[in-house]
Structure 1
């Protein structure tokens, strides 16, 4: 099923990327990049049965043999963010399904369509009914997953306040919780750095995916005034050359931000 799912993702890649671009705003090239990173996880899940076989150690101690046995948890759930509607869910459910669990995906209410499309492809690949479900909603849906006794584990990617809430609520219910909160990455530029390369890297980080990602590198620390002035000069030149427009058009460097609130956050 996982291998067929991988081939279907590749078959319908353009359609999935168009859905991501239309709802999120990132350019088609960015959307294709995130989908390819997600497909890598599906490829890994294709080999999971071999990894799940466990191991046996003979004579670990005098007259003692030891073995490990991997068992599924049951029903598990993923709560995913708006900025990577294809990739982040693909971090979660291919491995969960390959390990024998049923999976419930709650995508961001701002970018729901890629999740629905991929659910349709899982169905086409032959995944048994009921093993993968998509639910839509905001906080009310998240609270329901936290409180549901049938859900044994939660995986989350998003803001730090929500990550803390899900972690606290889920662990109080005895669930396993993986909560990845908002990241803030910094770059340090030393005096001997290749400044042209540093500028290109910072431009890619800041404007790729419209900057709506944890690798946006919103802070660059330059060591030495000369380093800073030279870097800013190069950044200004490259920023002016960026091609910006509707993400659904090809050949652009940056598309739209997802909503006015995010635009205000970036401007601030």
Structure 2
């Protein structure tokens, strides 16, 4: 049995907790490895290594830090096939999707390659008589990221890419379900030229999370996961004086107006709802057609589209999606399908009990489609996080607009229409953090910023882009005066200084 170790201080570190978590191959259902679960002492060891590396790394000029990021990007690209296969073997998503996962992370690394102008600060000459004022952005110190299973490549790179580029040192606590890729990324960061201790990987469960949240030398924490845990991370981290951004769950809606290009809508919905087995925080699990004619046509065409989908092992190049991550998650998704039936929704396509020939023990869930879902149903209120699409019919634009706006989650939303005025009005009024217009998965490009509203995010600062730079740095402002001569002295003043 292969053991997956921590990566601390630039080397593999064997923990002594004696606690492990099984890592499965979702395609077969077999245990393929076990990952160590850290103690607070082992987390502290990583923090001390990161602290020891901080002074040297933070004083390295931004151009040299950027060169490390350039080399890291090159190494990831050179090893893309290996990394994608490693990701798929533990997560279950198909290889092409794993490459997309890694590539979206690399886009933030590309942003980090241009970090020098992002941290240059501001300067005002002559703010007062002989007085200049300037500001500088400085790194925080040791910082941490706690990442979910669904994007074991992208989300860690979203976090540590910017954090390391601006001069911090980093502790990554990845999901224990698919931990191998994050370790490999840390190895490549070391190979790229980052000093030992700049990027550390500590595996663990709640014990490790709590150790991060309460450690006095960890200054900022980024988290992605479920909303209840995001709220916990935010509350506990803030109570211990840390800067925290905690991204939670989602229930993203796709609004279909009667004039939408239905051919494109069906293709977009198929990928957005069922791609990666629906295990995406930006998946589109709810579709809201406006008007009975629109709804009836959408239902008929989605049934035909679902029948064409191919579920397969992660290495099947012809598969549209693979298994979910664990048997427990499979049971959870099928439990939500049970709940939808109990709620009174019409189960049009039932994906429960799906079995792949030759891989009967794999964690597969077939695509499911519900119709006549209503806003008071539990299965609508909560995140299913599986290959399940729910149709919620709306009679008007205003009714459709209200559904995502009133939902407890506010991560992403999309509207499909050829009416520019309607799209513009929707984008301005909807109470959701990220909006797509004829774009089913509106994840912003890396030089913009990612973040939802309501119970989809806790904290005031979003991920990556300039928001990420602000989150991972602190501003110092200097007011300087250089007298004309040693004989020039001002009288003592006991009032607040002004620049008059």
TM-score scaled to structure 1, two decimals? Answer: 0.96
2:258 to 168, 191, 194: 191
Segments of 4+ in structure 1 off by > 4 A? Answer: 60-64
Match of residue 127 from structure 1: 194
**Which deviates further from its counterpart, 25-34 or 80-89?**
25-34
Match of residue 201 from structure 1: 268
Match of residue 48 from structure 1: 115
Q: Does 1:257 align with 2:324?
A: yes
1:216 to 274, 283, 291: 283
Give the Cα–Cα distance (whole angstroms) in 1 for the partners of residues 128 and 294 of structure 2: 60
Match of residue 236 from structure 2: 169
Gaps of at least 5 residues in structure 2 are: 1-67, 337-500
Residue 137 of structure 2: SS of its match in structure 1? coil
The offset of 1:66, in angstroms, is: 2.7
Q: Does 1:96 align with 2:129?
A: no
Match of residue 315 from structure 2: 248
Q: What root-mean-square deviation, in Å, do the aligned CA atoms of Structure 1 and Structure 2 show?
A: 1.3
The offset of 1:58, in angstroms, is: 2.5
Gaps of at least 5 residues in structure 1 are: none
Give the Cα–Cα distance (whole angstroms) in 2 for the partners of residues 200 and 234 of structure 1: 10
The offset of 1:63, in angstroms, is: 5.9
Higher helix share: 1
The offset of 1:60, in angstroms, is: 4.6
Residue 41 of structure 1: SS of its match in structure 2? helix
Match of residue 158 from structure 1: 225
The offset of 1:61, in angstroms, is: 6.0
Give the Cα–Cα distance (whole angstroms) in 1 for the partners of residues 237 and 325 of structure 2: 29
Higher strand share: 2
Q: Does 1:136 align with 2:203?
A: yes
2:173 to 85, 95, 106: 106
Residue 258 of structure 1: SS of its match in structure 2? coil
The offset of 1:62, in angstroms, is: 6.7
The offset of 1:255, in angstroms, is: 0.5
Give the Cα–Cα distance (whole angstroms) in 2 for the partners of residues 62 and 231 of structure 1: 69
Give the Cα–Cα distance (whole angstroms) in 1 for the partners of residues 255 and 129 of structure 2: 54
| Paired residues, number | 268
**Which deviates further from its counterpart, 238-247 or 50-59?**
50-59
TM-score scaled to structure 2, two decimals? Answer: 0.52
